[in-house]
């Protein structure tokens, strides 16, 4: 039988050294008695110190196992070092057990590790520093904190990274962490330090009392996240009884209060902010765009980000009309900036089209959210009809001599003819307001097709755009 006595500070290193040596000699878990320094009571059994030298057996471990050991060794459960040794011993012959969350020993270690994790997390949360007088340029702070486990060594490097420009001391019943001139070291525990009053505590208490909403008391949540055992070292918690006592009457007062007379400045400010009702028919392109941004003619606006108004050269003789903005256009607020827009851009460059005004039959993006994506939905005829008011207005201002309709929705909006697109593609139809409409594919249709079909459709689209351009030149 061997006995290992673990020190209060540097526990993990001591455990690891001893475990490594014992295991290299093939000592089974029940051949070791683990105890903590100062725990006493170990004299019942006569036992030897672990061997000084490394034995013949190679010791295998994993990073996970070591990091588990590093935290579990802090646990106040007296079994923790033995359980860890048991796990390490088993790992030599069974490499999979530590990775199996249903294994009883693994599960037990996971539970202990979780308790340590929580203790560390609460220490990071609930340590309260008070400022101490400083002699040098660095400010000094001190705190007293009582964790459940001996975590002072693994929990305090966090504070060293965070509060690097000040000197601080965190004293705990298990040990003291001192950070001075960028060096963190640990010392044996002492009595709780006497910390001077700190004026910022008063402000913090004010904040705590006022950020509290008396109408939504939820004590269980507070107590489970901030257990009572921590309260005595937190300055704000002593306010809680009074806050609770007053809560109900405060809410009752809010309810009982009669609506008050608004302050005098209120009406003046609101008058200044009031936006005039937009006139019936906007007279300029800018006014039309602004009015369309507020359009409520159909239900699409509620889901879409914004109205995507046409863009381009307002004096152009050519107008290109698509179906509706897509995901990219909806976010950017500009038409034809997405993948379909790129197809159109390329086709227009190839066809050498001149200046034009590009817009959509429907000015809002219609979609269905699915997972992380917004899936395009074709607009209904009703939606196209509602939005035609804007398209007509745009056409009235641009007065295009030739219009290109991209796809069936645009063709319907411009000609009123909802017949299938394929037989009509490449033809010229009269617009409802007169003027020729060249019917072609929508660029996103090209995107959906396979290679050969896509090439054909793209070629047809370019040909149609060329035709529109030729018509302009013939007329002009």
Task: Provide, rounded to whole angstroms, the least separation between the CB of residue 408 and another protein.
Answer: 26
How large is the C-alpha radius of gyration of the chain? Answer: 38
Task: Provide, rounded to whole angstroms, the least separation between the CB of residue 127 and another protein.
Answer: 5
Antiparallel, parallel or unpaired: β 356-360 and 318-322:
parallel
Q: Does 105 bind another protein (CB under 8 A)?
A: no
Could you write out the three-class secondary structure of 207-252? HHHHHCCCCCCCHHHHHHHCCHHHHHHCHHHHHHHHHHHHHHHHHH
Rounded Cα distance between 442 and 340, Å, is 8
Q: Does 101 bind another protein (CB under 8 A)?
A: yes
Rounded Cα distance between 299 and 296, Å, is 7
3-class DSSP state of 70: helix
CB of 10 or CB of 117, closer to another protein: 117
Residue 180: beta bridge partners? 183
CB of 181 or CB of 225, closer to another protein: 225
Task: Provide, rounded to whole angstroms, the least separation between the CB of residue 259 and another protein.
Answer: 4
Q: Which of 67, 107, 229, 232 binds another protein (CB under 8 A)?
A: 107
Q: Which of 314, 331, 428, 471 binds another protein (CB under 8 A)?
A: 331
Neighbours of 98 (CB within 10 A): 21
CB of 56 or CB of 371, closer to another protein: 371
Q: Does 63 bind another protein (CB under 8 A)?
A: no
Cβ atoms of 398 and 433 closer than 8 Å:
no
- Roughly how many angstroms between the first and final C-alpha of the chain, as a whole number? 106
Task: Provide, rounded to whole angstroms, the least separation between the CB of residue 94 and another protein.
Answer: 10
Helix%, strand%, coil% for the chain, nearest 5 = 50, 15, 35
CB of 57 or CB of 100, closer to another protein: 100
Task: Provide, rounded to whole angstroms, the least separation between the CB of residue 270 and another protein.
Answer: 6
CB of 111 or CB of 399, closer to another protein: 111
User: What b/e string do you get for 218-230 counting C-beta neighbours within 10 Å, with b at 16 or more?
Assistant: eeeeeeeebeeeb
Q: Does 311 bind another protein (CB under 8 A)?
A: no
CB of 328 or CB of 351, closer to another protein: 328
Task: Provide, rounded to whole angstroms, the least separation between the CB of residue 331 and another protein.
Answer: 4
Cβ atoms of 439 and 421 closer than 8 Å:
yes
State the binding string over 65-84 for another protein (x if CB under 8 A, else -).
--------------------
Query: What part of residues 339-378 is at the interface with another protein (CB under 8 A)?
Result: 369-374
Task: Provide, rounded to whole angstroms, the least separation between the CB of residue 348 and another protein.
Answer: 24
Query: What part of residues 421-450 is at the interface with another protein (CB under 8 A)?
Result: none
Query: What part of residues 200-229 is at the interface with another protein (CB under 8 A)?
Result: 200-204, 206-222, 225-226
Task: Provide, rounded to whole angstroms, the least separation between the CB of residue 96 and another protein.
Answer: 6
Task: Provide, rounded to whole angstroms, the least separation between the CB of residue 254 and another protein.
Answer: 4
Cβ atoms of 97 and 90 closer than 8 Å:
yes
- List of residues 6+ apart from 317 with CB closer than 8 A: 354, 355, 400, 401, 402, 472, 476
Query: What part of residues 145-204 is at the interface with another protein (CB under 8 A)?
Result: 158-159, 161-166, 198, 200-204
DSSP per residue over 285-321, as a string?
Answer: HHHHHHHHHT--SSGGGGTSSS----EE-TT-SEEEE
The residue range among 3-11, 298-306, 310-318, 450-458 that interacts with another protein, by the rule CB under 8 A, is 298-306
Query: What part of residues 230-269 is at the interface with another protein (CB under 8 A)?
Result: 234, 236-237, 240, 243-244, 247, 251, 253-255, 257, 259-263, 265-266, 269
Q: How many residues bind another protein (CB under 8 A)?
A: 95
3-class DSSP state of 445: helix
DSSP symbol at 417: -
Task: Provide, rounded to whole angstroms, the least separation between the CB of residue 269 and another protein.
Answer: 5
> Tokens for 384?
């196209």
CB of 217 or CB of 449, closer to another protein: 217
């Amino acid at each position: 039988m061997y006995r290992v006595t673990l020190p209060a500070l540097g526990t993990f290193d001591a455990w690891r050294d001893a475990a490594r040596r014992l295991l290299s000699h093939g000592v089974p878990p029940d051949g070791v008695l683990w105890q903590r320094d100062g725990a006493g009571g170990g004299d019942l059994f006569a036992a030897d110190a672990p061997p000084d030298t490394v034995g013949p057996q190679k010791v295998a471990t994993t990073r996970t196992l070591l990091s588990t050991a590093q935290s579990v060794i802090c646990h106040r459960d007296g079994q923790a070092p033995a359980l860890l040794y048991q796990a390490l011993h088993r790992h030599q012959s069974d490499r999979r057990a530590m990775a199996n969350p249903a294994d009883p020993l693994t599960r037990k270690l996971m539970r202990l590790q979780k308790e340590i994790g929580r203790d560390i997390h609460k220490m990071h949360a609930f340590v309260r520093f008070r400022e101490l007088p400083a002699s040098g340029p660095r400010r000094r702070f001190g705190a007293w904190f009582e964790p459940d486990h001996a975590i002072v060594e693994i929990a305090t490097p966090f504070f060293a990274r965070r509060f690097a420009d000040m000197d601080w001391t965190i004293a705990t019943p298990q040990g003291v962490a001192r950070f001075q001139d960028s060096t963190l070291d640990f010392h044996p525990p002492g009595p709780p330090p006497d910390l001077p009053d700190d004026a910022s505590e008063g402000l913090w208490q004010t904040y705590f009392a006022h950020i509290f909403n008396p109408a939504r008391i939820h004590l269980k949540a507070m107590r489970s996240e901030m257990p009572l055992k921590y309260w005595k070292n937190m300055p704000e918690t002593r306010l809680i009884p009074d806050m609770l006592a007053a809560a109900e009457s405060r809410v009752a007062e809010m309810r009982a209060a009669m609506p008050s007379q608004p302050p005098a400045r209120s009406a003046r400010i609101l008058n200044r902010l009031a936006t005039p009702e937009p006139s019936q028919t906007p007279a300029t392109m800018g006014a039309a765009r602004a009015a369309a941004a507020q359009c409520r003619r159909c239900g699409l606006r509620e889901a879409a980000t914004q109205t995507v108004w046409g863009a381009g050269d307002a004096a152009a003789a050519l107008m290109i009309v698509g179906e509706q903005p897509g995901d990219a256009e909806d976010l950017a607020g500009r038409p034809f900036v997405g993948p379909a827009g790129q197809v159109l851009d390329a086709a227009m460059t190839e066809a050498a089209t001149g200046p034009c005004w590009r817009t959509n039959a429907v000015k809002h993006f219609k979609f269905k959210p699915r997972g992380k994506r917004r899936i395009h939905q074709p607009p209904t005829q009703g939606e196209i009809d509602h939005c035609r008011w804007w398209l007509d207005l745009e056409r009235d201002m641009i007065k295009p001599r030739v219009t290109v309709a991209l796809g069936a929705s645009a063709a319907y909006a411009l000609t009123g003819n909802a017949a299938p697109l394929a037989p009509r593609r490449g033809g010229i139809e009269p617009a409802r307001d007169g003027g020729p409409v060249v019917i072609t594919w929508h660029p996103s249709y090209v995107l959906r097709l396979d290679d050969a079909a896509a090439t054909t459709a793209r070629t047809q689209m370019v040909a149609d755009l060329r035709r529109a351009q030729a018509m302009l030149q013939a007329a002009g």
